[in-house]
A and B are shown apart, each in its own frame.
Chain A
Amino acid sequence: MNTAAEILAGCKPLTRREIAKRLADDIPEGWYVNLGIGAPLQVADYVPTEREVIFQSENGILGMGPAPEPDKINRWLINAGKQYVTLRTGGSYMHHADSFALIRGGHLDLCVLGAFQVAENGDIANWSTSDNESAPAVGGAMDLAAGTPRLWVLMEHTTKTGESRLVRRCSYPLTAIGVVKRVYTNLAVIDVTDEGFAVRDMVPGLTLEALQDVTDAPLRMASASR
């Protein structure tokens, strides 16, 4: 029998883009979705336009479309990551207080954020890795995390040095408490339940034992899929 390390070495982790696609496959038509800046923005690339999912950008766009053709840039139209975007047919603009009232009022169906750590009680740490490194900068992360009824996190399963990002309790400064519902990593899709982390699925060839070997918090298999 193979050791956990051999099993891990033998399976193929998803790339960032493959995680984004895996997550996008779980977004049904009709949802209103905010994608955090960075890797979560790639999720939009894997939702086909015929599946009508409405993306919100917290700087006041509802119905955000993909990046414009280079000769069709609207220089007043940027997303929360300050990149040029488009407005899809049916889209609308709002000012910042209305945009965050929409978020804080719980009107979105889903928010996808990146994170440094997610704890088994649903706590998320995604805005600061230490208390002193540079000026604190939170942006809209705390509003999105506390205000959206369904928060999914897209992140690598471990740090570059191999430490688990799925933890019993976050050691980095918190963004919000008890809010994460599901985590998509390069190794697995994991629900956050009242009883802790429950694995929905894993990359081919991976076993629960091998996944546990690189995960700080205890894992169990989800009882039934969906």
Chain B
Amino acid sequence: MIDKIVKSMAEAMAGIRDGAVVLIGGFGSIGQPNALIQGLIEQGAKDLTVVANNSGVGHVGLAALLETGRVRKIICSFPRTADPVVFEKLWREGRIELECVPQGTMAERMRAAGAGIPAFFTPTAVGTKLAAGKEEREINGRRYILEQALPGDVALVEAWEADRWGNLTYQSSARNFNPVMATAATLTIVQTQHIVELGALDPEKIVTPGIYVNRVLHVPYGEPTVT
């Protein structure tokens, strides 16, 4: 019997190694798997590269992980949310490397990783300083740059409902980066508000099929706070 549901945070975090590339879902704090991030802090892996749209708010969730000093590099489109105090300080002190990536390029680089596409051409960022050092090619009269796939060793994902096969649904705009990150990592770990029986999810409404998911932890935390 396939059962991807794990009983403890330690079980969920087992095997994450130093130097791992960790994809973390969420847009701001919505859809950001804060319980798993806390679990990663307690697990202790260091020298991490984190891929996330933002860089954390206040001192919780992603910001708390950055504050441990165990993140070497962040790949991010917008490290400037309402209260990015921890990131700003680390960045100004030169203690964290930032790779600023256009949001769509970041999503597509992970989609490509999940789909077996090593690199792709895009017009996004052509002629800007974010194109520096990238191969450029003209195709049918338009300029494009080559962007590389962005695979993760680990993805931390927040879902709304999950079953024991790892089939997932999401809630409203909390879907955001979570499904694409689930496809792009070797080890996809999910925190979910609800666990349901196999067969309870309408197959027409499953967003992430269980093939992309390795571990599911039940974290019924209630409602997120916006920022």
Contacts and interface: CB of A to CB of B under 8 A. Distances in A.
Interface in B104-129: 104-105, 107-108, 110-111, 122-129
Interface in A134-170: 134-143, 146-147
B100 interface: yes
Contacts of B178: 95
A72 interface: no
Nearest to B80: A137
A78 B179 contact: no
A226 interface: no
A135 B125 contact: no
Interface string A83-106: 110010000011111011101100
B207 to A, nearest CB: 7
A196 interface: no
A176 B129 CA distance: 10
Interface stretch (A23-31, A45-53, A54-62, A182-190): A54-62
A135 B102 contact: no
Contacts of A140: 77, 102-104
B130 A138 contact: yes
Interface residues of B, number: 52
A140 B81 CA distance: 14
A105 B200 CA distance: 35
Contact of B123 (A79, A99, A146): A146
A82 B78 contact: no
Interface string B116-147: 00000011111111100000000000000000
A59 B129 contact: no
Nearest to B91: A135
B176 interface: yes
B98 A147 contact: no
Given A60-B27, A100-B107, A135-B98, 13 more contacts: A76-B174, A77-B173, A82-B82, A96-B27, A97-B108, A100-B103, A104-B104, A141-B102, A147-B104, A147-B123, A147-B124, A175-B128, A176-B124
Interface of A: 57-61, 74-79, 82-84, 87, 93-97, 99-101, 103-104, 123, 131, 134-143, 146-147, 173-177
